[in-house]
Amino acid sequence: MKLLVVGSGGREHALAWKLAQSPRVQLVYVAPGNGGTAQDERLANVDITDIHELADFAEREGVALTVVGPEAPLAAGIVNVFRQRGLKVFGPSKEAAQLESSKDFAKAFMKRHNIPTAAYETFSDAAAAHAYVDKNGAPIVIKADGLAAGKGVVVAMSLEEAHQAIDMMLADNKLGDAGARVVIEEFLAGEEASFIVMVDGKHVLALASSQDHKRLQDGDQGPNTGGMGAYSPAPIVTPQLHARVMREIILPTVAGMEKEGIRYTGFLYAGLMIDAQGNPKTLEFNCRMGDPETQPIMARLKGDFSKVVEHAIAGTLNQVELDWDRRTALGVVLAAHNYPETPRKGDRISDIPAEADDSVTFHAGTQMVDGKLVTSGGRVLCVVGLADSVRSAQNVAYETVNRISFDGMQYRNDIGYRAAGRKQ
């Protein structure tokens, strides 16, 4: 059978790579794909992004299943369009995707269903927002309501920063419609983890735990990014915490959506903040897999993922049990010059070491130009190493990193430091 993965990042490369391992899969189309998916003979790039044209393509090529990677096509209703045309697709409908596409929707939803999250209020009036911040003090968190490609959240450590963020979003309209409303919420201290599950409308299947590194520089310094590295499993997610997150966050979310007339299908990603006492709160929902979390997660997943997706679309996820490589997978993102501000494109990338049993490199912002691989986006590659401990996985991943180069390459040297410092 032929499958389709929608998107062009490292997440989509990893999903397509995993799906293509199935003996019953002939070819995985990736739309639009990147320089890495272009090079793999089991994958084929398709230069289409319009969701109606993608449906035409899927119909014409007899695509058996489609998996949607990023939030933008989901929020635009790609799943609704595919379903209307009788095409099998895994992802949330436009209505369900509001859990990610509107922070205000997500916060109000969590409040209605008693799902633990930071206290908040929503504003479209700048004066009222400024007054709220003055009343509550810093640190405080300002979030654009809409999708802002990772630029919509300001964790303000001072009142001045908070006021600036409000002006940027509400007065100067720097984020356009996405910032026309803002959620202002309580600052939460603790350690973050990514909790990602698959939902078929009724049943929930948890994927392995993971942790991302959002800041650009070592020691969690510098600006927020889409994610500079991730590893799986995240030892902070103990079996007890796992059970609690399922009971207090994930299951009430799926049930709450159903109660409100929205059947949730697709990946559901709860970004968690876990406080010093081990209590989890929800920072945000994403209606998709994480990037770069997907890369180490897919590197650890065993078995035929196309069958899992088939069950997810059929509503029979309760029949699936996932099998994980017991090793830790750790992914280091190599980013372009001047990422995240205005990443430079067109830098020639050196040869990338071939995939091995303990290492695989997924592409994101890469492109083949005249037979040569060049950078074409902010996050360029994600190098994953697998080994029996976090430290060994770091060694394997960084050994590969050291063999790759391009002008302006930036990466963190400390991916996995929290887990490496924790007793295992």
Q: Residues in the site for ligand GLY, rule: CB under 6 A? A: 212, 227, 286, 290-291, 293
Is 132 a residue that touches ligand AMP (CB under 6 A)?
Answer: no
Q: 73 or 227: whose CB is closer to ligand AMP? A: 227
Interaction partner, residue 290 (ligand AMP, ligand GLY, none; CB < 5-8 Å by kind) = ligand GLY
H helical segments located in 286-401: 294-300, 305-314, 390-401
Q: How far from 277 is each of 128, 146, 274, CA to CA, in Å?
A: 34, 32, 8
Interaction partner, residue 192 (ligand GLY, ligand AMP, none; CB < 5-8 Å by kind) = ligand AMP
Interaction partner, residue 153 (ligand GLY, ligand AMP, none; CB < 5-8 Å by kind) = ligand AMP
Cβ-proximal residues to 401 (8 Å cutoff; 6+ apart), any chain: 332, 334, 383, 411
Is 133 a residue that touches ligand AMP (CB under 6 A)?
Answer: no
Smallest separation (angstroms) from ligand AMP to the CB of 173:
20
Is 145 a residue that touches ligand AMP (CB under 6 A)?
Answer: no
Q: 87 or 156: whose CB is closer to ligand AMP? A: 156
What residues numbered 25-84 form the site for ligand AMP, per CB under 6 A? none
| 251-256 long-range contacts, CB within 8 A, separation 24+ | 251/204, 252/113, 252/114, 252/115, 253/99, 253/109, 253/113, 253/115, 253/285, 254/199, 254/202, 254/204, 255/113, 256/109, 256/112, 256/113, 256/115
Among 185, 291, 293, 358, contact with ligand AMP (rule: CB under 6 A): 185
Q: How far from 73 is each of 62, 88, 320, 332, 400, CA to CA, in Å?
A: 21, 16, 27, 26, 33
> For the stretch 293-302, what's the b/e string if a residue is b when 16 or more beta carbons lie within 10 angstroms of its beta carbon?
bbbbbbbbbe
Interaction partner, residue 187 (ligand AMP, ligand GLY, none; CB < 5-8 Å by kind) = ligand AMP
- Distance between CA 231 and CA 393 in Å, rounded? 9
Binding mask 222-261 for ligand AMP (x = CB under 6 A): --x-------------------------------------
Smallest separation (angstroms) from ligand AMP to the CB of 212:
7
Q: How many residues bind ligand AMP (CB under 6 A)?
A: 15
Supply the DSSP symbol for 171.
I
Interaction partner, residue 67 (ligand AMP, ligand GLY, none; CB < 5-8 Å by kind) = none
Is 148 a residue that touches ligand AMP (CB under 6 A)?
Answer: no
Smallest separation (angstroms) from ligand GLY to the CB of 74:
13
Residue with tokens 């410092």: 421
Smallest separation (angstroms) from ligand AMP to the CB of 133:
14
The CA angle 23-303-78, to the nearest 5 degrees, is: 80
